Chain A
Amino acid sequence: MDVGKDKLLEMYRSMQKIRHFESSIRDLAMANEIPGFVHVSIGEEASATGICAALRKTDRITSTHRGHGHLIAKGGRLDKMMAEIFGKRSGYCKGKGGSMHIVDFSLGILGANGIVGAGLPIATGSALAAVIAGRDEVSACFFGDGASNEGTFHESLNLAAIWKLPVVFVCENNGFGEFTPMQTVTSVKDIAVRAQGYGIPGHIVDGNDVMEVYQYATEAVARARAGEGPTLLECKTYRWEGHVVGEQAFLGEEAYRKKTEVEEWKRKCPIIRFHQWCLEGGKISEAELKKIVSETEKELDEAIAFARSSELPDVSEVTDDVYV
């Protein structure tokens, strides 16, 4: 696949932003600086980035409780995301959504979602809206292996298939639903095979290889835009951190997986892999990549400072925005 240098740099920046953002969130949560539960996606940067790189700004995504990465990859602003996670008025949702519910309509981000599997029908409906309105927009739907056992998965794939809706279903298979290994609660080894049941293409994708994700995503998006209907992509990846930040405090260290397993996946780091791939054959110089890292660090410091110094919402705002 022939990919321009700008695109590669954009993808590299996206992955770095996600990694830095999520690491900061983990640290801030451990330091009790942010309220609520937070779920970070360290180790899963390639799937978010590879999918969103194949989308236009006017295309839409739905996301999950582990959504920061998807939002950043779709162009979400770190400062407004951070402020939202701090519960501040300057955040994306004026402090009413928090980590699990960030929305940015201007970027086609229909929202992270606290309900497992809820984004699938919403993305399907967003694709339906494109058909009704006669616009060639595509919707991409991120969800986990756990969500693929919800009824909404079945209902959405069926609906999207019969109506040939422009939607790309992206299962990020990180091996676990909370603390339960996927293979103990899922009837198939590969979620992608479930596509057969709906008569749509399903592909197993190396979710730690951003270029492979991007390639499959580009094909699925083109297919959707051409009116040929949905595709199911299963990106095999792994989450380095716990399901929820701070879980070790009540679970202990090796409650459901061995440290050695985590270490093994860390050696397959999607960012290091992409970094090396970019350097090969002189596609991009080390200095250019380093510059992106330092710019990202700066942007993140600014985002945290912005969130910290922003005001909390006024209690008078509690009744705003229930209805239009």
Chain B
Amino acid sequence: MPQLNFIQAINSALAEEMERDPLTFLMGEDVVLGAFGATKGLIDKFGAKRVRNTPISEAGFVGAAVGAAMAGTRPICEVEFASFFYCAFDQVCNQAAKLRYMSGGQARLPITFRAVFGAMGGAAAQHSETVYAQFLSVPGLKLVVPSGPADMKGLLKSAIRDDNPVIVFEHGGLGRLKEEVPAGDHLVALGKAAVKREGKDVTLVAIGAMVPKALKVADKLAKDNVSVEVIDPRTLMPLDEETILGSLAKTNRIVVADEGHLRGGAAADIASMVAEKGFDSLDAPVKRVASLDVPIPFSPPLERAAVADEARIERAIRELLGN
């Protein structure tokens, strides 16, 4: 199996899917050179017709992706930084998400949006946001948050083949993380969580960049005889409730860790699902670990203070276990 980093995994998923279907095409700001390297070289394979630099006009080109999807093609639309979705909210939330429903099932919107999110070291608030929670109350979208190269590739390929609008959120801090990625047609189903590590004392649901952190915490706690089960939901919409609740039924304790903000965030959403549907399994209240409710600051110590980290995950677990 080849070792790939996050960016290479994206690149190979894009290349394979574009190879597979001539109606797929790539559009976005600077996709020809590839602002983060993920789309590098694709122009040489697929040509200028299918790899298109867009003007800096998010509402315009996101809307064009919507129209192109409705008219029978399969756009892969890169929005560079996920915070830029705010400039195109209407096209994502009012158009892409709703047109199938509002047309009584006539429209098909096979669009894959890709966007970089998260705190990545001094990018400051407008480039560091964890935006997916903003889309959680918009039915009609699917939301994907991969935590490593293998899942990245498999989830992105599934997203491209999906006939619904899917947003793939790529954490900007995971770029150099390397792991073995299965060769060939490696697909990871949307709506299926991964048990990243088995354990019996506490369930730790970790999203995106929190997954590698959660695994480190689990390693550390194992030395103190605390057995942590780490679950990566991989997609937030649809959410694999069954795997989360199944794990809880085994451990009876749960912590949800996310880089998004505490209020109204993805951790809040999962925690309330657990409280409602898993109450009988709970030996202690559900705990959330999330970023502070402040815009993500620029200065490194402030940024570190704002964003959820390993220490906070560890503390939450210890509090929950009373040790």
Interface assignment of B91: CB less than 8 Å from any CB of chain A: yes
Interface assignment of B54: CB less than 8 Å from any CB of chain A: yes
B52, B67, B101, B102: the one within 8 Å of A122 (CB): B67
B140 contacts which chain A residues (CB < 8 A)? 322-323
Interface assignment of B50: CB less than 8 Å from any CB of chain A: yes
Among the 9-residue stretches B103-111, B119-127, B217-225, B261-269, the one with 4 or more Cβ atoms under 8 Å from chain A is: B103-111
B64, B100, B142: the one within 8 Å of A128 (CB): B64
Q: Find out whether the CB atom of B102 lies under 8 angstroms from the CB atom of A152.
A: no
Q: Find out whether the CB atom of B163 lies under 8 angstroms from the CB atom of A324.
A: yes
Nearest CB in chain B: distance from A37 CB, A = 15
Nearest CB in chain B: distance from A68 CB, A = 16
- Interface size grouping (class) on chain B: 35 or more
Interface assignment of B139: CB less than 8 Å from any CB of chain A: yes
Q: 22 A-B residue contacts at CB 8 Å?
A: A62-B67, A94-B105, A96-B102, A103-B102, A103-B103, A103-B107, A105-B107, A111-B103, A118-B63, A118-B91, A125-B68, A125-B71, A125-B75, A128-B64, A128-B73, A151-B59, A151-B60, A152-B60, A156-B64, A158-B60, A320-B105, A324-B164
Q: Find out whether the CB atom of B61 lies under 8 angstroms from the CB atom of A93.
A: no
Closest 9 pairs between A and B when the two form their complex, measured CB to CB:
A121-B63, A155-B60, A125-B67, A125-B64, A129-B71, A94-B104, A93-B104, A122-B67, A103-B103
A155 contacts which chain B residues (CB < 8 A)? 55, 57, 59-61, 63
Interface assignment of B49: CB less than 8 Å from any CB of chain A: yes
Q: Find out whether the CB atom of A96 lies under 8 angstroms from the CB atom of B67.
A: no
Give the CA-CA distance A96 to B100 in the complex, in Å.
Answer: 10
**Taking beta carbons and an 8 Å cutoff, which residues of B are in contact with A?**
23, 25, 49-50, 52, 54-55, 57, 59-73, 75, 90-91, 94-95, 99-108, 139-140, 142, 162-164
B54 contacts which chain A residues (CB < 8 A)? 159
Q: Find out whether the CB atom of A121 lies under 8 angstroms from the CB atom of B99.
A: no
B106 contacts which chain A residues (CB < 8 A)? 92-93, 103-105
Number of interface residues of A (CB under 8 A): 49
Interface assignment of A162: CB less than 8 Å from any CB of chain B: yes
Q: Find out whether the CB atom of A125 lies under 8 angstroms from the CB atom of B59.
A: no
Give the CA-CA distance A129 to B164 in the complex, in Å.
Answer: 17
Interface assignment of A132: CB less than 8 Å from any CB of chain B: yes
Interface assignment of A47: CB less than 8 Å from any CB of chain B: no
**Residue among B52, B90, B103 with max Cβ neighbours from chain A (10 Å):** B103
Q: Find out whether the CB atom of B94 lies under 8 angstroms from the CB atom of A128.
A: no
A91, A101, A133, A324: the one within 8 Å of B23 (CB): A133
Q: Find out whether the CB atom of A124 lies under 8 angstroms from the CB atom of B100.
A: no
Q: Find out whether the CB atom of A163 lies under 8 angstroms from the CB atom of B100.
A: no
- Residue of chain B at shortest CB distance from A60: B71
Interface assignment of A2: CB less than 8 Å from any CB of chain B: no
Q: Find out whether the CB atom of A122 lies under 8 angstroms from the CB atom of B95.
A: yes
Given contacts A111-B99, A115-B94, contact A159 B55 (CB under 8 A): yes
B60, B73, B94, B162: the one within 8 Å of A124 (CB): B60
Q: Find out whether the CB atom of A96 lies under 8 angstroms from the CB atom of B63.
A: no
A97 contacts which chain B residues (CB < 8 A)? 102-104
B55, B63, B65, B69: the one within 8 Å of A120 (CB): B63
Interface assignment of A130: CB less than 8 Å from any CB of chain B: yes
Interface assignment of A48: CB less than 8 Å from any CB of chain B: no
Nearest CB in chain A: distance from B143 CB, A = 12
Nearest CB in chain B: distance from A13 CB, A = 25
Given contacts A131-B49, A133-B23, contact A92 B163 (CB under 8 A): no
